[in-house]
């Protein structure tokens, strides 16, 4: 797919209101995706005077990709954890969307929780821990998201479903990575028990079920 191609994809951002600066940074780094035709949405896009909650939930229900800006504020936010994350989890498990968890700042959750099982990007340490190198890592996050968007858009052009629920059967993995027993490929998604969830390898999305090690709090309910 050329850079000039129009990309058909809906991306919705889930974040804690106390992380407004991180939201702005993310939106700056995905600005070119929007120019390519990608619909990028967060609650700041809701017009004044509109009942914001149904608009937000409708966007999440229609999203092809849900981006999670993960921080201690996200984990401490009842709205993020009890309202937005369950929608993301339900739709992801049903194969209706893909998740893109961004490891913005160190936080702690139970390893056996849904959030604790999701592999994040960057996977080694959070963006804030990169300090002066953080801008470079934000660019890498944007690059990975672009690849995922291109995969979703290509799948839509082929009439394929956006993703599939992970399972533990089958064999093989793309690009020589994750070549562990229990991986298999459906459409543009790789499933298996060993490596990562939601990470991009070329045009593929890798969905795995083994929890990685987690890195390492007040947010009011959202309203525009």
Could you identify the residue written with the tokens 């940074």? 25
Average pLDDT score over the chain: 79
Query: What confidence category does residue 99 fall into, taking pLDDT thresholds of 50, 70 and 90?
Result: very high
State yes or no: pLDDT of 163 exceeds 80: no
Query: What confidence category does residue 156 fall into, taking pLDDT thresholds of 50, 70 and 90?
Result: confident
C-alpha Rg value of the chain to the nearest Å: 17
- Tell me the C-alpha distance between 59 and 29, whole Å: 21
Query: What confidence category does residue 158 fall into, taking pLDDT thresholds of 50, 70 and 90?
Result: confident
Q: How far is CA 52 from the centre of its chain?
A: 22
Where would I find the beta strands (DSSP E) of 15-76?
A: 39-41, 65-70
Query: Helix (H, G, I), strand (E, B), or coil: what is residue 101?
Result: strand
State yes or no: pLDDT of 119 exceeds 50: yes
How open is the CA angle 128-42-60, to the nearest 5 degrees? Answer: 110
- Tell me the C-alpha distance between 9 and 64, whole Å: 6
State yes or no: pLDDT of 160 exceeds 60: yes
Overall residue count recorded for the chain in this entry: 224
Mean pLDDT of 119-134: 96
Instruction: Return the pLDDT at 220.
Output: 46
Position with higher pLDDT, 170 vs 4: 4
Quote the pTM value. 0.72
pLDDT in tens, 15-45: 999 999 999 999 999 999 999 999 999 999 9
Q: How many helices (H) and strands (E) does the chain have?
A: 8, 8
- Tell me the C-alpha distance between 93 and 108, whole Å: 23
Contacts of 48 (CB under 8 A, 6+ apart): 224
What DSSP state is assigned to residue 37? T
Instruction: Return the pLDDT at 14.
Output: 98
pLDDT in tens, 170-209: 323 333 333 333 444 344 444 443 333 343 333 334 443 3
Instruction: Report the b/e string of 41-61 with b at 16+ CB within 10 A.
Output: bbbeebeeeeeebebbeebbe
The dihedral region occupied by 187, where left means phi > 0, alpha psi between -120 and 50, and beta the remainder, is left
- Tell me the C-alpha distance between 190 and 114, whole Å: 19
Query: Helix (H, G, I), strand (E, B), or coil: what is residue 199?
Result: strand
pLDDT in tens, 44-91: 999 999 999 999 999 999 999 999 999 999 999 999 999 999 999 999
Query: What confidence category does residue 8 fall into, taking pLDDT thresholds of 50, 70 and 90?
Result: confident
């Amino acid at each position: 797919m050329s850079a000039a191609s129009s990309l058909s994809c809906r991306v919705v951002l889930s974040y804690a209101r106390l992380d407004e600066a991180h939201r702005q940074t993310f939106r700056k780094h995905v600005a070119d995706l929007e120019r390519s035709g990608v619909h990028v949405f967060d609650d700041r896009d809701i017009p004044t005077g509109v009942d914001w909650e149904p608009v937000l939930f409708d966007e999440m229900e229609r999203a092809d990709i849900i981006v999670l800006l993960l921080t201690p504020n996200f984990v401490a936010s009842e709205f993020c954890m009890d309202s937005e994350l369950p929608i993301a989890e339900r739709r992801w498990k049903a194969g209706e969307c893909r998740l893109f968890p961004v490891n913005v700042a160190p936080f702690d959750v139970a390893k056996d929780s849904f959030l604790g099982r999701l592999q994040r990007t960057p996977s080694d340490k959070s963006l804030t821990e990169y300090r002066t190198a953080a801008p470079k890592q934000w660019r890498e996050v944007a690059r990975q998201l672009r690849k995922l968007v291109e995969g979703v858009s290509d799948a839509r052009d082929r009439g394929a479903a956006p993703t599939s629920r992970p399972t533990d059967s089958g064999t093989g993995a793309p690009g020589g990575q994750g070549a562990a027993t229990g991986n298999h490929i459906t459409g543009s998604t790789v499933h298996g028990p060993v490596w990562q969830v939601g990470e991009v390898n070329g045009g593929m999305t890798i969905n795995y079920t083994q929890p990685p090690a987690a890195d390492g709090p007040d947010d009011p309910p959202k309203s525009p």
